Amino acid sequence: MYESIHKYFQIGTIQWMSYPNRDPMDSLKAICRDDFFDAIELKGYGDKNEEAKKLLDQSHLKICYGAQPRLLGPKLNPNDIDEEGRKKAEATLMEAIDEAEYLGAKGIAFLAGKWAPETKDQAYAQLLKTTRNLCDYAATKGMNVELEVFDYDMDKAALIGPAPYAAQFAADMRTTHSNFGLLVDLSHFPTTYETSQFVIRTLRPYITHFHFGNAVVEKGCDGYGDLHPRMGYPNSANDTMELVDYLRVLKEEGFFNEEKPYVLSMEVTLRPGEDEDIVLANTKRVLNRAWALV
């Protein structure tokens, strides 16, 4: 593409993935100062962190709130078939909506919890209950709720995806809530044994947000699972040409939108001994090269 990628997408990064070892305020300043980024995805900083809000207010970044760590850390499950467990997950996601509003985000993203074959239908109903409650609450603030599609049997083993099952869930949600959408991530396509074309075409009516990154899906290899190593990592699934394919499919399916650009965030983190700034620069280089080839 001859035109800037920033015409068609708001390019972002996930703060806690790009800078896992740096003080959150230092890494927030680094992203706010970097005009390569149009968006930031953050996991929050605690109750009404005024320093973070001031930095974000100055930055002109689009602010996105990722509530996934709120669930993964304490192992909370929004589709827990135990109602008390489900309510605990819902409560922290409601708190996430409040913090996201304070920081200037227009919604939150989260993920489904683990599931078991014998209770899959019950878990699906529980996830609908949680998500509808979140969407009800978010709607009172003019905010949206996004569910990120993960692997179902490799690492996170989340109830949603693969893509056809995610489409079913999104269709059920859209019958009652227009402020619901799906977040898809190139990193996860290899972990669900799917292609960019299949995922994007299957989920097209429901997608509201994009990530890209990498995964190792060969058992026994370093970085196996949903660990988001740098692009081109040894024995990994994604590098420049896989990102080119992803971008071409997004173009074909009408997601290049200069009037209301979608967020496209890099979700890449470190392997042991790696440098945060170098890995981030790696990701920018791969994106720039991929865009030039689209």
pLDDT in tens, 115-151: 999 999 999 999 999 999 999 999 999 999 999 999 9
Provide the residue range defining the domain that includes 32: 5-293
Q: What is the pLDDT of residue 47?
A: 79
What pLDDT, on the 0 to 100 scale, is given for residue 244? 98
Instruction: Return the CATH number at 273.
Output: 3.20.20.150
pLDDT at 133: 98
C-beta separation of 182 from 170 below 8 A: yes
Provide the pLDDT for residue 239.
98
CB 200 within 8 A of CB 250: yes
> With 90 as the cut, is the pLDDT of residue 46 above it?
no
User: Quick one: pLDDT at residue 204?
Assistant: 98
Q: Which tokens belong to 64?
A: 């996105």
- Between 47 and 188, residue with greater pLDDT: 188
Specify whether the CB–CB gap between 78 and 120 falls below 8 A: no
pLDDT tens by residue, 251-270:
999 999 999 999 999 999 99
Confidence of residue 48 (pLDDT cuts 50, 70, 90): confident
Per-residue pLDDT averaged across 181-210, rounded? Answer: 98
pLDDT at 184 over 90: yes
Q: What is the mean pLDDT of the chain?
A: 97
What is the structure's pLDDT at 213? 98
Q: Sorting pLDDT into bands at 50, 70 and 90, what band is 12? A: very high
Output the pTM of the full model: 0.96
**Total structural domains within the chain:** 1
> pLDDT band at 1, cuts 50/70/90?
confident
Q: What's the pLDDT at 69? A: 96
Question: Nearest CA to 213 among 191, 229, 196?
Answer: 229
Measured distance CA(115)–CA(81) in Å, rounded:
9
- According to the model, what pLDDT value does residue 225 have? 95
Above 90 in pLDDT, residue 181? yes
Residue from 149, 58, 56, 59 nearest 100 by CA: 56
pLDDT tens profile 76-119: 999 999 999 999 999 999 999 999 999 999 999 999 999 999 99
User: Do residues 163 and 125 touch, judged by C-beta distance below 8 A?
Assistant: no
